Amino acid sequence: MQRKPFTYLILITSFFIAIGFFIYYYQQMQVNDQKMQEAITAETPLPTYHFALIGEEMNHDYWRLVGEGAKKTESEYDVFVEYDAPKRSNPEEQLKLFDMAIKSKVDGIIVQALNDHFTPMINKAVREGIPVVTIDTDSPGSSRHAYVGTDNYQAGRLAGEALVTDTNGTATVGIISGSLDNPHHQLRLQGFKDVVENMEGIEIVAIEESNITRVEAEEKAYSMLTEHQDITAFYGTSSYNGLGIVAAAESLEKKDDMYVITFDTIDENIELLEEGDIDAIVEQHPFEMGNQSIRTMLDIVNDRQIQNVFHTDSSIVRKENLAGWKAKRMAAND
Ligand code: BGC
């Protein structure tokens, strides 16, 4: 009986201590929340410009470099670059991404104008006040503000000249284009033809498309080689065509005598060049394209003068100049 008041005293004291702790920790939490909020708003103000960059294919070495070049500008300028692309090349999906970027009212859109259907969409964006820069593939008939990328016709000519030199002007040629519909591949084909068609010893016997996949390039090269057993040289106009061509020539035991020229210095092409299975590569500069496209867009939104057509370099890489090329690439990080 005597212990009861003492127990009550302990219970009441514990109750007040618990309330005290609760109030203290609640206040501390409020202070921390406020500090965090202040820190977030002070440290990460949203960049002034939000640009959308829409490429052809997300999981592709070439487009990964375009994206990296573009994203690099975020550390130098007041800009956020939203880079997106279909998982696999798919113009309809690419157009949907384009439309979504217009609807979300970004400050600028950089897009690969893969075919004619992109022209009305570019014009729509510009009508709605969103500047557009085309990248890699141009749409000169649209109201785009600028194009940043390879001079594709000239790059095709370079390929033709390299083939003429390396084969001493004698070759029976099969061509694997990335696509027969896309303007940049058409220009690469036209440039090539304009050079080799003047040569008596050179004949183009077949032209097919790979839809920029290695598998289709291999299938098409294989059936070409079976139909035209006299083919001595191949020209591929996109990144993975060389890999497909070499694989097809290998299965038909024609690899050693085949001359192969293809586009893009992706790692696998460089390895095949080192091994002597690819003879020459037309180099483009995807990292620089991505980077320059954002700089051009920043000039546009800031009303600064721009170069409407900004051609990034293209050149021929052969095994003989590979060491110099590697050293230059390491220095340039492209
Ligand atoms: C072209 C890109 C294309 C890529 C695919 C490049 O040579 O410039 O447009 O997406 O090849 O392989």
Q: What is the pLDDT of residues 259-279, one digit of tens each?
A: 999 999 999 999 999 999 999
What is the Å distance from ligand 1's center to 179 Cα? Answer: 10
Which pLDDT does position 164 carry in this prediction?
98
Share of the chain above pLDDT 70, in %: 91
Pocket test for ligand 1, best of 264, 268, 283, 293 (most atoms within 8 A of CB): 264
Question: Burial level of 26, CB count in 10 A (0-12/13-18/19+)?
Answer: exposed
Euclidean distance between CA atoms 233 and 267, whole angstroms? 22
Residue 124 exposed, middle or buried by CB count within 10 Å (0-12, 13-18, 19+): middle
225 — pLDDT class (breaks 50, 70, 90): very high
For residue 211, what pLDDT band results from cuts at 50, 70 and 90? very high
Give the number of the atom of ligand 1 that is nearest the alpha carbon of residue 89. Answer: 10
Cα separation values, 159 from 4, 88, 281, 302, Å: 100, 27, 8, 38
Q: Convert the pLDDT of each residue in 17-31 to its tens digit.
A: 777 667 766 676 666
Give dist(CA 328, CA 334) in Å, integer. Answer: 9
DSSP conformation letters of 51-70: EEEE-S-TT-HHHHHHHHHH
118: number of CA atoms within 13 Å, CB side?
A: 30
Find, among 105, 101, 89, 92, the residue nearest to 55 by Cα.
89
**Per-residue confidence at 41, pLDDT binned at 50, 70, 90?**
low
**Of 325, 314, 286, which Cα lies nearest the Cα of 65?**
286
Greatest CA separation for the chain? 121
pTM: 0.86
What is the arithmetic mean of pLDDT over 44-59?
A: 94
Tell me the pLDDT of the chain averaged across its residues: 93
Residue 140 is given by DSSP the state: T
Q: Whose CA is nearest to atom 7 of ligand 1?
A: 238
Q: How far apart are the first and last CA of the chain?
A: 88
User: What are the tens digits of pLDDT across the range 91-128?
Assistant: 999 999 999 999 999 999 999 999 999 999 999 999 99
Higher pLDDT, 334 or 290: 290
| Structural domains of the chain ordered from first start | 46-150+286-314 (3.40.50.2300), 152-263 (3.40.50.2300)
Closest CA to 114 of 180, 174, 16: 180
Decide if 175 contacts 208 (C-beta within 8 A). Answer: yes
Where helices occur in the chain by DSSP H, the ranges are 3-43, 61-72, 91-103, 118-127, 152-166, 183-196, 214-227, 241-251, 267-275, 286-301, 322-332
Q: Nearest C-alpha to atom 10 of ligand 1 is from which residue?
A: 56
CB of 178 closer than 6 angstroms to any ligand 1 atom = yes
Task: Considering only residues 143 and 3, tell me which one the structure prediction assigns the higher pLDDT.
Answer: 143
Residue type, 125: A
Residue 40 confidence class, pLDDT cut points 50, 70, 90: low
Give the separation between CA 88 and CA 307, rounded to whole angstroms: 31
The mean per-residue pLDDT over the stretch 237-246 comes to 98
Rounded distance, CA 79 to CA 155, Å? Answer: 32
Ligand 1: which of 238, 265, 312, 313 to mutate, judged by most atoms within 8 Å of the beta carbon? Answer: 238
Which residue minimizes the CA distance to atom 3 of ligand 1? 238
Q: Is the CB of 135 under 6 A from ligand 1?
A: no
Place of tokens 């020229």: 261
**Pocket flag, ligand 1, residue 266 (CB < 6 Å):** no
The token duo for 312 is 């990034």
For residue 42, pLDDT over 60 is answered with: no
- CA 305 to ligand 1 centroid distance, Å: 29
> CA of 133: how far to CAs of 56, 62, 71, 111, 274, in Å?
15, 19, 16, 6, 36
What is the structure's pLDDT at 275?
A: 97
pLDDT on residue 1: 45
Q: How far is CA 225 from the centre of its chain?
A: 31
Q: How far apart are CA 119 and CA 141, in angstroms?
A: 7
